[in-house]
Every structure is written in structure tokens, then in C-alpha cells.
Amino acid sequence: MSKPLLKVAAVQVAPAFLDLEQGVQKTLGLIREAAAAGAGLIAFPECWIPGYPWWVWLDSPAWGMQFVARHFANCMTADGPEVRRIAAAAADHGIWVVLGYSERAAGSLYIAQLIIDAAGNIVSARRKLKSTHVERTIFGEGDGSDIKVHATEIGRLGALCCWEHINPLTKYAMFAQNEQIHVASWPAFSLYSGKAYALGPQLNNALSQVYAAEGQCFVVAPCGVVSPQMIEMLCDSPAKHDLLQAGGGYAMIFAPDGKPLATPLTPTAEGLLYADIDIEMIAYAKSAADPTGHYSRPDVARLLFNAAPTSRTPWVQCPQSFEETV
């Protein structure tokens, strides 16, 4: 018996910038809206709560210090009350949620994603394996346990953030786990417009599209929007206005052959993109090329992948004889 189609939703909306409570409220509203439209999964942009820290790209670290305390205070913990409210909403509306957020853990921050099932259970709280370029002045990094595909009732589900999609080894580790539905979370594409092609929508939407074709999986690619209010807060000079512009929304959903499945919104528009996906369609793409299966050559090239979590403070019990040695 064939599995029913799954309706998925990709968010293209500006965040409640640096406002945790309003960010949660906005999240709950979008979950409600997607569920009312019949979606079984909704995917949010990178750093959706409390918004991507664009200031790090606009000026010196000293100038950006004005945002540090406010940003830190408005980041969620992976198990805090805000997450519990979002998980409860997922359960109330019977919808899977993949949420991009900035995670606060003790004194450090991480670019992260939560995968929450339709019963409100936290399936995964993953971190971006390596923050990109100047992001590393704010965020720490994940480990091999964050590169994981999860067997779920809606299919084998995984997620990555932004330029994790430019790393061939990370992608191959995901493909090797037989991923079927992938969430590719992006912050927005209006930074350095006309100055850095690599940061623009053409290349980065292509990364999501090629991920679908290489992995023979469905890719839900939510994308944030830079609002005029964010521009007013962040851009205090003509030079900064030139570096970051309003808009940048380019959300899309791709099929396992790379075909776009949704009608795009304009870059300044906000809303949800929808598509019905049929997991059984993956078999047709896999029959042509499965790079981790029949289309691979393990006798020529293989990936060595360490999926173990890494503790920064492994506590050990010293033997009783230890005191005699000091």
C-alpha cells in the first residue's frame, strides 16, 4: 500500500528580530497557519529565533558589541520553556516542526536546529558543524553526532544549515544515511548584493537544488527575510545600507530530481510555500544514480565519518591510588 502524500511548508518570513517572546509568538502563529492549510511539516530559516546576527558582516567586532548582550539574552536553550511551548503547539496541531534557532548553552551560542515530531517530542537538537566565516566570532560548533538522519513516520528526515550544504563530506555523510526529506535552512540572501556572488540567491538556491539531485531526496529550503525594521536597527551609515538590503527571501521546495515544486514568492514578500511530496518518487531518482549505493566506487573512494558526540569536559573518576602518587 502506498504512503499518502505529505504536504510540507517552507517559511519565508522576517523574524521578530532580537525579541525572544515575539519570536515564539510568531512561530506559534506560523505553525497554526501551516497546519490549517493541511501541512504535516513546517520548516523555519536559519537562526529564526531570535534572528540572524547580520551585524557581524557589517562592521568591526567592537561596533558589533552593542548587540552582544541583547542577542545572548534572547537566544533559546534547547530544553527551555520557549521550546516546550513550541513543542506543545506541534502536538496541538499534529505537525512536524524543524526550527532554526540560536542556541544558548551556558556561556556559549550555537547555530542550531530542532526537529520536533507531531506529538511534541524533541527528535533532535542539532548544531551547525562549523560556523561560517565571521559567524565564528559569535558561535561555537557541533560534532559528528549532529550529522544525523532520523527514521520517522513521515520518512527519513535530516537537516543542515546554510553553508553546511557547500561541504561535500558533510553532504555525503547525510546521503549515506538514506535521507528522504531534508530541511535546508537559510537566513536570507540580501547581504553584499552585487559584491559577493557566493552569498547570493543564485548560488545558494542551487546548493539546495543540487543537494536534492545528489541525495535523491526532497529538500525543503526555508529562507528568512530582512525587514525594513532590521535595516533601521543595523544600518547606521550609507555604507551599511549598501551592504545589507531589505528582502532576500528565496524559499523553495525541491523534488529528488531537482525540480522546483512551489511557486516562489518575491524576495520582499512574506508567507509560506507549500508542496505535496511523495516519498515513493525517490525510487525513480535512486534507480538512475545512488552515490552512496550502486553509483559509488568504495574500492576507489570512501568517507571516514566519526558520528560520536564530543564532550568538552569528560569527567573521570581517579583511582584510589591516585592520592599516593601526588
Q: Could you report the per-residue pLDDT of 18-27, keeping only the tens digit for each?
A: 999 999 999 9
- Active-site hit among 162, 217, 223, 235: 162
Do the Cβ atoms of 135 and 169 come closer than 8 Å?
no
Which of the residues 128, 148, 171, 286 is marked catalytic? 128
**pLDDT surpasses 90 at 321:** no
In the three-class reduction of DSSP (H, G, I as helix; E, B as strand; rest coil), residue 111 is classed as: strand
Choosing from 7, 46, 135, 214, the catalytic residue is: 46
Check if 223 is active-site. Answer: no
Please say whether the beta carbons of 127 and 142 come within 8 A. Answer: yes
The total of other beta-carbon atoms located within 10 Å of residue 60's CB is: 7
Q: Is the pLDDT of residue 155 over 90?
A: yes
286 confidence band (pLDDT: 50, 70, 90): very high
Active site residue 179: no
Say if residues 125 and 288 touch (Cβ distance below 8 Å). Answer: no
Q: What number of other Cβ atoms are within 10 A of residue 21's Cβ?
A: 11
pLDDT at residue 314 in the model: 79
pLDDT digits (tens, 9 = 90+) for 102-130: 999 999 999 999 999 999 999 999 999 99
Q: Report pLDDT for 122.
A: 98
Contact assessment for residue 260 and residue 254, using Cβ atoms and an 8 Å cutoff: yes
Distance, CA of 174 to CA of 182 (rounded, Å): 9
Residue 128 designated active-site: yes
What pLDDT does residue 316 have? Answer: 78
Please, which pLDDT band fits residue 311 given cuts at 50, 70 and 90?
confident
> Cα dist. 142→121, 179, 312 in Å?
21, 20, 11
Q: Which amino acid is at 94?
A: G
